[in-house]
Amino acid sequence: MHKSKLILIPTPLGNVDPAMVLPSSAFHAIESLNSFIVEDIRSARRFIRKVSPHKNIDNINFYLLNEHTKSDELADIIKPLLNGIDTGLLSEAGMPAIADPGTSIIRMAHRNNIQVVPISGPSSIALSLMASGLNGQNFCFNGYLPIKQNERIKTLRTLELDSAKTSKSHIFIEAPYRNNKLFADIVESLKPETNLCVACNIGEEDEFIFTKNIAEWKKNILDLHKKPSVFILQV
């Protein structure tokens, strides 16, 4: 039996031409595969049709993997790989499994000695750090902060204290519709000299990436509502 591979395929950030940001290996993978694990079938079909307009979408098998997927459903999702069929794990935006579903199926692939092949591509987290001017040698991605305000503020202050001790950059994100609440808590809770990078709408025409200290941000309150953003703090 053919030894299958799980191929991790990135997608563009924002509404840009995939040829501008994706390597040829991503195009080759999409052209050659007929088995894909995706977050949303409709948007995945649309993206594949854009990248490979001559590909017969009806010949593709899609397997849904998102935040609603139950652990007992993973056995069905990995079946093609166990049967020797190369399968692509397709992100909605950016890199698969980084602040993105997919880690559970990747772990299962490793447990079954299935080769995992990552393809390079855009990552809002890496691009934000690159452009921030903050510590790119010692950093930590913290994912989503707590939803409850008192717990979120406590976490922000803990990250600030750790950064003061270690010079570490702390990266975190929020659901776009809660960005303004997070930004307000940051500027009201952290010390004036703490640096904050706000990276918003990365990959879009109105991309916004600026680093200022908290005292400066208080003079420049942003409207980040429903705009995908990455936040990085460093003391």
pLDDT tens for each residue of 16-38: 899 999 999 999 999 999 999 99
Q: Which CATH architecture has domain 5-118?
A: 3-Layer(aba) Sandwich (3.40)
Phi then psi dihedrals of residue 31, to 5 deg: -65, -40
Q: How far does Cα 126 stand from its chain's mean position?
A: 10
Return the closest-CA partner of residue 126 out of 14, 7, 13, 4.
13
- Cβ atoms of 197 and 133 within 8 Å: the answer is yes
Fold of the domain built from segment(s) 124-234: 3.30.950
Strand order through the sheet with 139-144: 139-144, 169-173, 229-234, 195-200, 208-213
pLDDT of residue 1: 60
Confidence bin at 6 (pLDDT 50/70/90): very high
pLDDT at 62 over 80: yes
User: pLDDT at residue 78 above 80?
Assistant: yes
pLDDT at 2 over 80: no
In this prediction the pTM is 0.91
Span 183-225, pLDDT tens digits: 999 999 999 999 999 999 998 889 999 999 999 999 988 999 9
CA distance 69 to 113: 23
Average pLDDT score over the chain: 95
What DSSP string describes 33-77? --EEEES-HHHHHHHHHHH-TTS-GGG-EEEE-STT--GGGHHHH
Q: How many CA atoms lie within 13 A of 101 on its CB side?
A: 18
pLDDT tens string 86-115: 999 999 999 999 988 899 999 999 999 999
Domain residue spans of the chain: 5-118, 124-234
Contacts 24+ apart (CB under 8 A), 190-193: 190/156, 190/157, 190/160, 190/214, 190/233, 191/160, 191/235, 192/218, 193/235
Give the helix ranges, DSSP H, for the chain: 18-21, 24-32, 41-51, 74-77, 79-82, 103-111, 124-132, 149-166, 179-189, 214-217
Over residues 113-132, mean pLDDT: 97
